[in-house]
Amino acid sequence: MADESTTPIKQNERSSSSNKNYFHAIGRRKEAVARVRLFKGQGQLTVNEIPIAQYFKGQIAQKQYQRPFEITKTLGEFTGTIKIEGGGYASQLDAIVHGIARALQLANKESFRLPLKKAGFLTRDARVKERRKFGLAHKARAKKQSPKR
């Protein structure tokens, strides 16, 4: 007979939540999806392995992605990696801000949730491109031109 003292093989040996030393969240805007991982500690955020200051150049963009940290008074306390795909420049930036806010909320739900919610960072902007209807011209609402004669 077979030996009954063998231990069963574990199917899925992923890191458990107790070993996790980061806060993971997903932010979305239009077609853009940002997967954000925030780690405690000082450093810089990277977007697709590029420093965020190089990925989003300009002071307006810089203020926008730092806003969740400023509201929660944690500017410089977190470092992180962000993987972003889809969308354009503005929607990627908004998706990153949404993801950062959700990750910060996981870091300290009691004190961070209310200020982030009041600022509107935890609300997913549901506005997306309207679908094209058949029988019309090549846009969502454009009608075909009517011949006059």
Is the pTM higher than 0.85? The answer reads no
The helix/strand/coil state of 34 is strand
Write the pLDDT tens digit of every residue in 91-114.
Answer: 999 999 999 999 999 999 999 999
Number of Cβ within 10 Å of residue 88's Cβ equals 11
Sign (positive or negative) of CA dihedral 49, 54, 56, 59: positive
Total Cβ atoms within 10 A of residue 83 = 15
- pLDDT attached to residue 145: 86
Give the tokens for residue 122: 């935890």
Distances (CA, A) of 86 to 59, 72, 93, 140: 23, 28, 11, 21
What is the reported pLDDT for 13? 43
Q: What is the pLDDT of residue 6?
A: 59
Q: State the 10-residue block means of pLDDT for the chain, 149 residues long.
A: 54 49 96 96 94 94 95 93 96 97 93 94 94 90 85
Q: Where are the beta strands (DSSP E) in the chain?
A: 22-29, 32-40, 45-47, 50-51, 78-85
* The pLDDT of residue 147: 86
Domains and CATH numbers, the chain: 22-119 (3.30.230.10)
